[in-house]
Structure 1
């Protein structure tokens, strides 16, 4: 009797799946028509504001049992796949595969985008600059280690803009081909990953040698090929190289998060919940920084980050990197930036983009 009930319920699921498939394809056809209009009118294909409206509306309509985050994940993939039908996107990231940069790229663009990896941050910029890829994904800041200076330095050489930001929680895993802790004779790790797991390694593997590699993905690859080797690596790399977990979440700081930037040729339109990033330098006179920041205080614009960077071509002179709330087209932000430009020896708008959730 119970078996018959299961079969009856499964047939209902099959029918629902058929309806969902038809509706997904119908949705895709309508989206492709929108894509044709955008193409003819030279409109921006990636519309963060529209995506936000879709997600907010679905959350409001959702009565369960699907949790909101699960619903978001499903529709994120649907929207990403539909965007690929409108205009196939090519995305390059700081490689190799299965790194945190790869994870950030997948989180932003979904699994259906065409991905490639580049060996350095400079190469990511070059791939997008030369039009070989639509977008690039690079790390810009870690909550423990601080700013990624080379990413900021690249904006002096490039006119690319920041189109979006992505936050990835940095969780480290110990894995090997067998998953057996007692068989580990050596551990491969990227220097930063090793540093972030120092207490775990000291407590659990005080006598085991640690070998430095260029990435967490390379560590996983070596653990796959070498007997009695383990790797400090990512969950994606463990899946990619078919390793087994030895231990999970071995990082010393639970709130370790890296912020990534998506770089491209165009700035996205305002969504109403945006962030703007700028670089500027001031004249070497008393009160110059105070005067530079005054336009934001007067307009009650919140500065969420302020950090100085040495100028490589001028010793003992500094650039200031600022994140602020708002879009560069917002009237308050627009006038504040205009006032700032008059105070600066150098000014560059890096981008205005939708705020991401940490």
Structure 2
């Protein structure tokens, strides 16, 4: 008797070794299977992160033997650049930057806990800039003035300080420039370019706001918005945006111009966000220390030059930069304090040039500029940084 032939479906099943039917193979992964995969990856991540930390500790031991510092702005910028360059998504760059910032902060703390002074209190923009550069695993030390930040560093009570240098809306920060004239031995070790987002925070309705508190610079950066949207409210200057948030929490019919984290800390309602007049509102902060930073190939150098108040003296001072091909990216004038009778005072100029002070062309330019100044101080060479969000 002839054998009964197999049906097409049975033949397909046999040839595929009993594989699932086409209708079954098209089914996507289940929630349980995806969670299992996440758990497996998390386990691998923890193992790799701890292995990375072990190597970082070994690096710290090598640095200690060779008298090197734990923190290196150049190396951390290099790590971030490589990480962001290797990413193909879908994680956004800001997320990766935050993850690796805290990873490096945590591994640094295994070697040594750093103390970083900043213009406080907590949740001020200087505090946010300090966290953006050093992460949470350091001791952030809030102080009452920019001068106090310089002094604490000069007394070696902290290893680093962070101070505002300039704002894209308001320009130079005079208190910081003044302290460099008094303590030119303090060096700029790194920079933080923080995009400043101001929020209107309070416990009442927008229409009920009668007083708006904030620091003078924050009020200035939101001047047009406040004039258009809160013309009836008094604008009152206080020592910091965080102090403004504290007042808005205590007082009825009051609001603060401050950061979103300050509003969260003081349990204030977010009445409006991103109220700064310019979308490119960026404050550049200087990370200050006792020593400058090593070369990275992506550097800038800040100079402080004292020249006489004579016709053409500024043009003569910067002429060597053009001759040597060194690009100047920032310049600010600052009058030297002197007696009222001094009718022809000297002026200080702060300027940034591209490159490191040890680069041959920059070194040549600096020496030529020095010959045309009454005094020239190199305040530091450090890596150029990208803008980070506050």
1:177 to 171, 186, 203: 203
Change (3 A) 1:326 1:238: same
Q: CA deviation at 1:234?
A: 1.0
Residue 150 of structure 1 pairs with residue 180 of structure 2: no
Q: Once the 2 structures are TM-superposed, how far is the Cα of residue 284 of structure 1 from its aligned partner?
A: 5.2
Pair 1:40-2:65 in alignment = yes
Q: Hey, what's the Cα distance between the residues in 2 that align with 1:56 and 1:205?
A: 43
State yes or no: 1:353 paired with 2:382.
yes
Q: Which runs of 5+ in 1 are unaligned?
A: none
Equivalences for 1:114-193 in 2 at 5 Å? 114-158=139-183, 159-177=185-203, 180-193=205-218
From 63, 81, 93, the equivalent of 1:68 is 93
Q: Is the 8 A contact 1:98 1:237 kept in 2?
A: yes
Task: Tell me the TM-score normalized by structure 2.
Answer: 0.86
Farther-moved stretch of structure 1 (264-273 vs 68-77): 68-77
Deviations 1:73-105 (A, max 9, x none): 211221122122222211010111111111111
- How far the C-alpha of 1:137 sits from its partner, in A, is 0.7
CA 1:190–1:58 in structure 2 vs 1: closer, same or farther (change >3 Å)? closer
Among 303, 327, 333, the alignment partner of 1:302 is: 327
Q: C-alpha distance in 1, partners of 2:219/2:253?
A: 18
Q: Which runs of 5+ in 2 are unaligned?
A: 1-26
Q: Name which of 324, 344, 352 aligns with 2:353.
A: 324
Once the 2 structures are TM-superposed, how far is the Cα of residue 287 of structure 1 from its aligned partner? Answer: 4.2
Give how far 1:340 is off: 1.9
Corresponding residue number in structure 2 for 1:28: 53
Give RMSD over aligned pairs.
2.0
CA distance in 1, matches of 2:320, 2:309: 19
Aligned with 2:30: secondary structure? helix
- TM-score of the superposition, structure 1-length normalised? 0.93
* 1:155 partner SS: helix
Distance in 2 between the 1:275 and 1:335 partners? 15
The 3 A distance-change label for structure 1 pair 124 and 298 is same
Larger radius of gyration: 2
Determine the structure 2 residue equivalent to 1:54: 79
Q: CA contact under 8 A between 1:44 and 1:268: conserved in structure 2?
A: no
Change in Cα spacing, 1:324 to 1:208, as seen in structure 2 (3 Å) is same
Q: CA offsets per residue over residues 172-218 of structure 1, 9 Å max, x none? A: 1111136x324434332223322322332233222233333221101
